[in-house]
Each structure stands twice: as structure tokens, then as C-alpha cells.
Amino acid sequence: MVRNKKKVVILGGGFAGVECARKLESEFGDDSEIELVMVSEDNFLLFTPMLPQVASGMIETRHIVMPIRTICKKTKFYEGRIKNIDPYGKLVTLWGTGDKRSISIHYDFLIVALGSETNFFGMADVEKNAYTMKTLNDAVMLRNRVIDMFEQAENETDPILRKSLLNFVVVGGGFAGIETAGELMDLILDARKHYHTIHKKDLKVIVLEALPMILPGFDQKLAEFAKEKMTERGIDIRLKTAVTSFDGNEVTTKSLDENPKNSMDNPETNAIRTKTLVWTAGVTPVNTIRRSMFKTEKGKLITNDYLEVQDFPGVFAVGDCAFFLDPKTQRPFPPTAQIAEAQARTAAKNLKALIKNLQKEKFVYHSRGQMAIIGKRSGIATFLGMNISGFWAWLIWRNVYLSKIPTFDKKLRVFLDWTIDLFFDRDISRLKLVKHETEKEYKLLDEVDDVW
Ligand SMILES: Cc1cc2nc3c(=O)[nH]c(=O)nc-3n(C[C@H](O)[C@H](O)[C@H](O)COP(=O)(O)OP(=O)(O)OC[C@H]3O[C@@H](n4cnc5c(N)ncnc54)[C@H](O)[C@@H]3O)c2cc1C
């Protein structure tokens, strides 16, 4: 087969993959010599910063996802799960399933933007029994779980069981954990109005964090403000506390406090009875990368200053799956959407430089500030060099993130959801959904199929 077009294949339709595709479309979208291709498991971009608001029922589920086909119109899209990347043969192979053929896609240039998955640090019981907050399915599952717990608790006569139904534990004090805990509190306080036997004092949201502070990476005063505000709202934040197991009924923890006296003072930190534990305590690169032939560090693809993968010119890694040291701290950049998009822009420029024989540029990150919401119309933000907390930070968060949603119709839908939420209580109908098992559902059909 004669190939005359150069094929650029982007793996992953998250923040990094989509940003890269959009930049490349503006450069090569009408170039008949270049073909742009994207492969991703879901056919949409998930706007993760608003995921906790889906879990709390404030935003309707589909309003935070944008179909890839509507935002990357000049990129050929394959919905599928990547099985293997062969950087020597320049082939990407997709898993086959009962409904999908296992195909291989050839590339001339490759952008790997496969993100990360939840890291349970080898605790199999936690993985089996915990809820997570990474996918749209996770958010929907959590909302239904919370409502189910209310339904059970309302008529439960055993006080110990009732307490465990109304204890909600969130593990992890980063972006995902803190925003989830804040939203969870909003949801349960709202839902409570419909359950006559459940009172505010019966409800508990507990955040467990192994580090001595929540929201690492934020200005310390802002993180302190967030902690105080959340504590005032009744969220119990336990620092220097590591989870050791969770069997679905009880979470056991270990104090990391160096002062043994402090760890003895509060025996409750050793075991908490709960039926719902949300695990947000860490991410790890996806299996596909760990299984690949690329060189990795902590499971991430090692890149050079230009975001090219070591030993493979023309292959770039961006976002959560890339290992790139921050020259200022000599530590890897934190996994954030902002950094993923910044890397995607640099990788797109460098790919253009490779194609057009131009000078590549090094990746340099200039933070535009960061922000988080902590529930009840409050937040923290470092914005335009200023530290802001409370209502104004919350308002800035809303404006900034609304402006970042790529399509007008989804912006409008989210805005309407927020407005409706000002006037009405959350919907407490529970939808019966089953927990989605990934990977195991994928069965291989043909080892060797078509090469496209
Ligand atoms: C609840 C939550 C809240 C967050 N809040 C913020 C925030 O407020 N601000 C912020 O900056 N960051 C936030 N983040 C972090 C941010 O979402 C990530 O850093 C960002 O998504 C990373 O972008 P990425 O493109 O590298 O990966 P992702 O966005 O995770 O994209 C990876 C893509 O690859 C696809 N993929 C993975 N494996 C395969 C495979 N084998 N085959 C096919 N496709 C595959 C996935 O389906 C996905 O589409 C939050 C994260 C969570 C979970």
C-alpha cells in the first residue's frame, strides 16, 4: 500500500489529547498531506473539575462531557481501548470485543495523552469496596449510593448500623477529595430535608489525608482557610492519617503523627464504621503505558525538554502520563488539567516543527494560578497573583471553569443547572445502576486484523 499522507495519531481524548488535536487542527486541518487521528476509550472529553458537582446532583450528568466529534471536527476518531503501542513498528493496536474489531493503526507521529487511573497502592480490599471519583460513571454511582444510604438509614432501627450508613468517608485531601467532600456535604444537607428521621447531627463527612495539610501545592494560608471553613461546616478533616484497609463496613487507619501521644489521644482514628468510602488518594499511569516498550519512571513516560519520549523522536507524551521534572523543584509536575493543556500546546508546536523542519521549543510552564471550591459557595484561588478566599474565590472558580468548557451549548446547560440549583432542592431519585467493571469485559477477537 502506498502511503503519501503523514499520519499523526493522538492517544487519549482527555484535556491533553483534545487540546493537542485542536492546535494541530488549526495548523494542519486543511493540509491534504497530514492526517489527524485520535483514539480514545470514550467518545467524549470529560470535564473533571465539575465531576464532584455531578456526584452531588447539582449538574446533570451529560452536561460536563463534550463529544470529541463536535470539538475536533477535522480529526478522524476511533472509539476503542488501546491494547498495545509498538514504537518500533509504529503501530497502535486496539482491543477487540464482542462488538469491536481488534484493529492496528499505523502512525508516523504519535502523541501519548492517556492520563492516569486511580491508585489503590496495592490495597485489594480498598479497590474492591471503595467508590472512586475519576469517571462519569463514578460520579453517578456515588450519587446513587448516597441516596441509597439515606433510604436505608431512614428506616433502620439498629443505631450502630444506622450510624455507619450515614458516615461518608473521603480519602485524599487533594483537588478531587476536597471538592468531593464539599459537594457531598451540600448534597446530604439538601437531601436530609426529605428524610424525617435523619437529622443534621446524624450525618458525618470525614476526610482522611496522609499529609500534614490538605490541598498540597496551594498557598499554605489558603489551604488553612479551606480546612477551617470545611471544619466549620461539620466536615471532619483528619490529617497524617493513612488508610490501611476497608472491608465495606469499616475503614481502618494508621496515624502518621510522629508524636505518639497525639495518635493515642483519638482512638476513633483507628477504625471508622462506614458503608461508603470514596477513594481519591492517588493516581497512577494507565496499564497500557506500563506494559509498553517505552522507558518509564514511576510508570510515566520519560520525556526530554521538548516533551519527546526518550529514544523515540516523533513520539510525544503529555499530561498526567508524562514524566517531566519541574526545573524549579526538580519534582514531577502535579497531575492537573492546566499543565496537561500547556504540555499539549508545546507538543503540538514541536510536532509542527518536526514536520516543517523548524526549531523546537522547550516546555516551560507558567502557572495562571489555581483554584478549588470547598462547598457552600466558598472556595480558594490564586488568581492574577492574588490570594482570594471565600465567596469571591468561588465566583471566580465558576467564571473561569465555565469559560473553559469548549462548547457554547454545554456552557449554557451548566449555567442553567447552577441557576436552577439556587431555587430548588436536589433531586433524590435513585437510579439503579450496576458497578462498571472495565478491562475484564474486553475479550480479544482476532490477534491480527486490519492495519489501517
Ligand atoms: C474529580 C477530579 C477533579 C479534578 N479537578 C481539577 C481541577 O479543578 N483543576 C485541574 O487542573 N485539574 C483537576 N483534576 C485533574 C485533571 O482532571 C487531570 O490532571 C487531567 O484530566 C489530565 O489530563 P490528561 O489529558 O493527561 O488525562 P485525562 O484527562 O485523564 O485523559 C486521558 C484519556 O485517555 C483515555 N484512555 C486512557 N487509557 C486508555 C486506553 N487504554 N485506551 C483508550 N483510551 C484510553 C481516557 O479515556 C481519557 O479520555 C481533577 C481530577 C479529578 C478526577
The four Cα atoms 421, 424, 425, 428 give a dihedral, to 10 degrees, of -90
Nearest alpha-carbon partner for 226 in 184, 258, 178: 178
Whether residue 274 contacts residue 251, with contact meaning beta carbons closer than 8 Å, is answered with yes
CA 331 to ligand 1 centroid distance, Å: 20
CATH of 6-41+80-118+283-364 among 3.50.50.60, 3.30.310.160, 3.40.50.850, 3.40.50.1970 = 3.50.50.60
φ/ψ of residue 392, rounded to 5? -65, -35
Determine the number of helices (DSSP H) and then strands (DSSP E) in the chain: 13, 28
Query: Cell numbers 510552564 label which residue?
Result: 365
**Helix/strand/coil percentages in the chain, nearest 5:** 35, 25, 35
3-state secondary structure of 78: strand
Q: Do the domains at 6-41+80-118+283-364 and 124-281 have one common CATH topology?
A: yes
Domain boundaries, the chain: 6-41+80-118+283-364, 124-281
CATH number corresponding to 124-281? 3.50.50.100
CA 13 to ligand 1 centroid distance, Å: 9
Question: Is residue 337 within 6 Å of ligand 1 at its C-beta?
Answer: yes
Question: Is residue 41 within 6 Å of ligand 1 at its C-beta?
Answer: yes
Whether residue 289 contacts residue 296, with contact meaning beta carbons closer than 8 Å, is answered with yes
φ/ψ of residue 273, rounded to 5? -80, 120
CA 48 to ligand 1 centroid distance, Å: 7
pTM of the complete model: 0.91
Whether residue 306 contacts residue 343, with contact meaning beta carbons closer than 8 Å, is answered with no
Count the neighbouring beta carbons within 10 Å of the beta carbon of residue 296. Answer: 17
Whether residue 324 contacts residue 343, with contact meaning beta carbons closer than 8 Å, is answered with yes
Question: Is residue 253 within 6 Å of ligand 1 at its C-beta?
Answer: no
Atom of ligand 1 nearest to the CA of 401: 8
Whether residue 420 contacts residue 414, with contact meaning beta carbons closer than 8 Å, is answered with no
Give, for all 452 residues of the chain, the pLDDT tens digit: 555 789 999 999 999 999 999 999 999 999 999 999 999 999 999 999 999 999 999 999 999 999 999 999 999 999 999 999 999 999 999 988 777 778 999 999 999 999 999 999 999 999 999 999 999 999 999 999 999 999 999 999 999 999 999 999 999 999 899 999 999 999 999 999 999 999 999 999 999 999 999 998 899 999 999 999 999 999 999 999 999 999 999 999 999 877 655 545 554 558 999 999 999 998 898 989 988 889 999 889 999 999 999 899 999 999 999 999 998 888 888 889 999 999 999 999 999 999 999 999 999 998 888 999 998 899 999 988 899 999 999 999 999 999 999 999 999 999 999 999 999 888 888 887 765 555 444 444 443 444 44
